[in-house]
Amino acid sequence: MRTLLDLPAPAKLNLFLHVTGRREDGYHLLQSVFALVDWCDLLHLETRDDGRLQRHDLGPALPADDLCLRAARALQQASGTRRGVDITIEKHVPWGAGLGGGSSDAATVLLGLNQLWGLHWPRARLARLALGLGADVPFFIGGRNAWVEGIGEALQPVDLRPQRWLLLKPPIAVPTAAIFASPLLGRDTKPATLLDFLADPDGFKHNDLQQPATAYSPQVQEAVALAARCGDHSRMTGSGSAVFAEIGSEAQAIQARQQLRSLPEGWTGWLGRGLERHPLSDFAV
């Protein structure tokens, strides 16, 4: 096998996001539930025999040394393979959105190359390598929706009820560092447990980062208001700027489709569903 085409890299939502403290090294302690959604980038991988790693963008150019290339390089060095790869990316999930697009792309590269290069690493080994690329990457390797703690490295799989979502992304890209440095950010939300969430998931609808993100750009609040016209519990995901709302009826879905057709210039959005598992979950065991 020399080629793998149309490998999906799904986005994720933070169903809630609490900041419960801060470590001495400056990293913030978080609690969240990450939920996979069917808004996906598509990646195409083709083995090279010369050991080179190259990326080709079908759309706007990504940074020269993005997470995909870093993921391929990390796996190449850790495995000792002499093979290389051409990575072609069809980018659909917007960046600067809090949807985990770059981390998901990197995870799809690791999962795909694990097959393409014949490595057959177990999931746990890939996840350890993934953590060096970013706190969100192991989640996508894990293949399941998850309760997330710590700085994002502590994951517990969780089953979520099937849901439809409306996602909206305004033109602004919110810098994560600015949000975590904001004086408006509280860092003392009372820690909860997975059992608390499972007993009352409707009690977990708040994102502690939303207030500082709204102060950074009024477009975030505009997006929250637009999503609220169509669905329930509109809120921001991650550090923004994307927001989402729960679509619980066909009437709401019709409103959401109409909203997507009339978005302001520069905005993008998606009406889709949650995923029970990562589409490539069978690529590692």
Contact 172, 218 (CB under 8 A): no
Annotated active-site residue 205? The verdict is no
Annotated active-site residue 136? The verdict is yes
Q: CA gyration radius for the chain?
A: 19
Query: Which among 12, 41, 91, 105 is annotated as catalytic?
Result: 12
Query: Which among 41, 105, 136, 208 is annotated as catalytic?
Result: 136
Residues known to be catalytic: 12, 136
